[in-house]
A and B are shown apart, each in its own frame.
Chain A
Amino acid sequence: MSADGDRRIDRSAHDPWRIGGSALPPNLLLSAKLLAVSLLLQGYVAAIPEPFLPLVSWLRVPRPDAARAALQVGATVAALLLLANWRPRTCALALGAILFLSLLATRGDYRNSKFFVACILILIGLHAGKASLLLLRAQIVLVYLGSGLNKVLEPDWLSGRYFDHWQSEIVRNPVWQVMADGLPPLALGRVFGWGAIASELALGVALAFPPLTGLAILAAVPLHTGMVAMAGTTFGIFFTALLFAYPVLFRWPALGETRARFDPARGVHRALHRFAERGDHEGWVAAEAVPGSPLELDLGGRTRSGARAAALWLLLTPATWFAAAVVLAAPAWLHWGAT
């Protein structure tokens, strides 16, 4: 089989898996689409409430039911058009603005997770070149540093009382009870409280520097996954949104910049190639079947092999991300840890 690097003709301009060829860099369009899909799949668009007790008085509307319908329809249309690549920048901005408006219009519905999604979508929608990429990075740094600094200023977080009460009384985590039993009062809470604060501040600082971004995210993903497991909640859409915001911090390689070699005689290689072929409609990775070759991927003057090559190939395949969006929607469908 020959190299298929020229496989770059899109099947359709409105192909939802397409992330190139728009006013947005591919990684930003991918992030925006993943957030839109997650909002739809996890029911956040359908759950936009009637405006009620707004945070700002001018959002008191005479017909809350009509306003809710307008917000829901607007968000649905913006999300679907975004997925169909119709003026994606405008649609991302509209979807983010609707979410933000909904938060302002309903005091009881305020959630940091929804605000985070709104901010990322708005900033993607306002994309205007390199400066915008810096501002998106600043947004994510601000969330980590702000969250860490807020905790530093909370005495209960520093004393261990917050974590201890949360895990033992609210979550009722049996593992926590066992671990805390053999320790002085609040000691475990202090370890976890200070650990969370240090992690958030360190991640905030690391993510501010592009060379440290990969390392920071490699640390952040297991950290957040652990927190989800400990808390028994996905913190609303926050866990999903963080994972899908991370692509804005990286440069997506140009078409033809990435080349993969695989051994067609090996089942795992063949399966990976087949998945990438079906899940990458634009040909971001030019794959070449080379009998007897190890799995290798060339990108940016470096060659990765084995598991690292496979992981990178998967990450450069849009379908991987959309599959993750479906998996991450499962807790919402199962009504697990909804808030």
Chain B
Amino acid sequence: MKRWSGLPPGFRTSARVGAALALLGFQLVMMTRARFDDARYFSWAPHDSQNEYVIEVLSEGRRLSDEVVEARYRIPPRGVDPRAIAHVIRLVQQYEAENDPDGSLEVKVRWRTNGGPERSWRHVR
């Protein structure tokens, strides 16, 4: 049966190997990028760190419930992220940039990495 609209077999083979090499190359690029970035996507950094975090959202000084926060970001509002805390922060950052660009809510992420001192990040307008 003819596949790939009848491209020559040699070309198909090269294309497959090329695509596989591209996938491996992508991972090497992401592994290198992870050395210059806090995030660890696609870079083989499982269990990079244990981050105990809490996401707090305040509306006019009143704290939103955990259920509301979870529905907002679709991740648990408090928990342990075993990758990099940047993954949590960037998710919140992206949501706020796309859905609340005026910054009407006050959003704060507090975390401890591997039991170290507490640190925090605040979403600002």
Please tell me which one of the listed residues A90, A150, A235, A238 contacts residue B34 in the complex, with CB atoms under 8 A apart.
Answer: A150
Contacting pair A165 B12 (CB below 8 A): no
B21 contacts A by Cβ under 8 Å:
yes
* Complex interface: chain A residues within 8 A of B49 (CB): 154, 156, 162
B75 to chain A minimum Cβ distance, whole angstroms, is 5
User: Which residues, 62 to 85 on B, are CB-close (under 8 Å) to A?
Assistant: 73-75, 80, 83
CA distance A170 to B79 in the complex (A): 10
B124 contacts A by Cβ under 8 Å:
no
CA distance A169 to B80 in the complex (A): 11
* Complex interface: chain B residues within 8 A of A156 (CB): 49, 113-114, 116
Please tell me which one of the listed residues A49, A112, A149, A170 contacts residue B83 in the complex, with CB atoms under 8 A apart.
Answer: A112
A interface residues, Cβ below 8 angstroms from B: 49, 52-53, 55, 90, 107-108, 110, 112-113, 115, 119, 122-123, 126-129, 131-132, 135, 138-139, 142-143, 146-147, 149-150, 153-154, 156, 161-162, 164-166, 169-170, 235, 238
Contacting pair B24 A135 (CB below 8 A): yes
B84 to chain A minimum Cβ distance, whole angstroms, is 10
Contacting pair B12 A147 (CB below 8 A): no
Q: List 18 A-B contacts (CB under 8 A).
A: A53-B91, A53-B94, A53-B98, A90-B3, A108-B75, A122-B23, A126-B16, A142-B27, A146-B31, A147-B44, A149-B31, A156-B113, A162-B47, A162-B50, A162-B114, A166-B114, A169-B115, A238-B46
B interface residues, Cβ below 8 angstroms from A: 3, 12-13, 16-17, 19-21, 23-24, 27-28, 31, 34-35, 40-50, 52, 73-75, 80, 83, 87, 90-91, 94-95, 98, 113-116
Contacting pair A154 B48 (CB below 8 A): yes
CA distance A161 to B42 in the complex (A): 25
A7 to chain B minimum Cβ distance, whole angstroms, is 28
Contacting pair B17 A131 (CB below 8 A): yes
Q: Is the interface of A mostly helix, strand, loop or mixed?
A: helix
* Complex interface: chain A residues within 8 A of B35 (CB): 153
CA distance A139 to B87 in the complex (A): 24
Contacting pair B115 A129 (CB below 8 A): no
Please tell me which one of the listed residues A90, A135, A150 contacts residue B20 in the complex, with CB atoms under 8 A apart.
Answer: A135
Contacting pair B24 A139 (CB below 8 A): yes
CA distance A141 to B105 in the complex (A): 46
Contacting pair B44 A129 (CB below 8 A): no
Q: A53-B98, A156-B114 are in contact. Are A108 and B73 (CB under 8 A)?
A: yes
Please tell me which one of the listed residues B3, B46, B73 contacts residue A112 in the complex, with CB atoms under 8 A apart.
Answer: B46
* Complex interface: chain A residues within 8 A of B91 (CB): 53, 107-108
Please tell me which one of the listed residues A150, A161, A165, A166 contacts residue B43 in the complex, with CB atoms under 8 A apart.
Answer: A150
Chain B residue nearest in CB terms to A145: B44
Q: 13 additional contacts, CB 8 Å, given A107-B90, A108-B91? A: A49-B74, A53-B95, A108-B74, A112-B45, A112-B46, A122-B23, A126-B17, A129-B13, A135-B21, A146-B44, A150-B31, A162-B114, A235-B47
